[in-house]
Amino acid sequence: MAPPLIRDPGNHYTRINPETVVMALQATTARTETPSPGLAAAMRVNSILQTTLDIHTVIRLFANELSDLVNYGGLQYRNPAYSLEINHGKNARHSCSYRLVVHEEALGELTLSRRRKFTDAEMHLCEDFLCGLVYPLRNALLYLSAVQAAHRDPLTGVGNRAAFDLAIGREVEMARRHGTPLSLLILDIDRFKAINDTHGHLAGDDVIKAFTAVVDGVIRKTDILFRYGGEEFAVLLSNTARHGAELLAERIRRRIERSPFESSQDRVPVTASIGVANLEPTDSTTSLFEKTDQALYRAKHEGRNCVRVAPLSC
């Protein structure tokens, strides 16, 4: 039987070959002799990991099972394509890393670390054990991709209304738990119907995409932008109080007003109205959204191209 993994001793990266992984797992059931401890454990963990499609659970279960075989201090899984970084334990000085690839599909990178070096025997054991991870991991990533696609606006690439509904519930819960401020912005492109009527719907799509890019260039990395629907957008501002949210909203408004929006060599004048509100002790996710929406209505009713902040509750 061919070795299930091919190790590059120069950098300790391992590329998993799908054919040999299948051979390794199937051969252990076909031959009469006792499989190696690593492959036997791989078969066991493969069955365990196939009970879930949640990527965080897959990595957690794998980390727990591996700890029974190899003593390590920290385990890190990274997959930049999915913006994933999952950590268990604490990173240490010495590490061994595995680049996971199946059918030319990159599944990310897994790194183990501890205070002392890993022995060759331990690395071989890890490599055998990884045979049980790759296919459940690929299934979890496929599921994650489907979920992300269902929560992504196809025109702009930012989160859609479904993603917003999930995120605002999560952010309100986190703000309550940690006692941190939370604010919400709702932005509406002024007179967007007139833009479509004057310049055409393709130009309207161009404006939507350019508008998204402008707003995304102003907000912080910790802020989350959504296309709530049509020409309406929402921005969740974690750890941001009322005054800071108002300042950011005004900065966004000015940037939009001053930015060149063009389509088919035509310049399209674009402004936005913005409503702002912050989470108060009596607020629910619904009431936070409603008072932000009411502030947006005031901004549009009072002349557009302005920022209005929801009043504080008495």
Mean pLDDT of 168-185: 94
Catalytic residue among 65, 122, 171, 231: 231
For residue 25, the model assigns a pLDDT of 45
Beta strands in the chain (DSSP E): 5-8, 13-16, 74-79, 84-89, 94-102, 105-114, 182-189, 224-229, 232-238, 262-263, 266-267, 272-278, 307-309
What is the model's pLDDT at position 127? Answer: 86
* Lowest-pLDDT choice from 219-223, 232-236, 254-258: 219-223
Report the 10 Å Cβ neighbour count for 110. Answer: 25
DSSP-assigned beta bridge partners for residue 226? 159, 234
Residue ranges of domains in the chain, CATH in brackets:
5-149 (3.30.450), 153-309 (3.30.70.270)
Nearest partner of 73 among 59, 58, 88, judged by Cα: 88
For residue 143, what are its two tokens?
């599921």
Amino acid at 36: S
DSSP classification of residue 310: P
The answer to whether residue 246 is catalytic is: no
The predicted model gives 202-230 an average pLDDT of: 95
Its pTM stands at 0.67
End-to-end CA separation in angstroms for the chain: 75
In the block, residue with structure tokens 């690439």: 157
Q: Which two tokens stand for residue 33?
A: 């002799």
Half-sphere exposure of 220 (CA within 13 A, CB side): 11
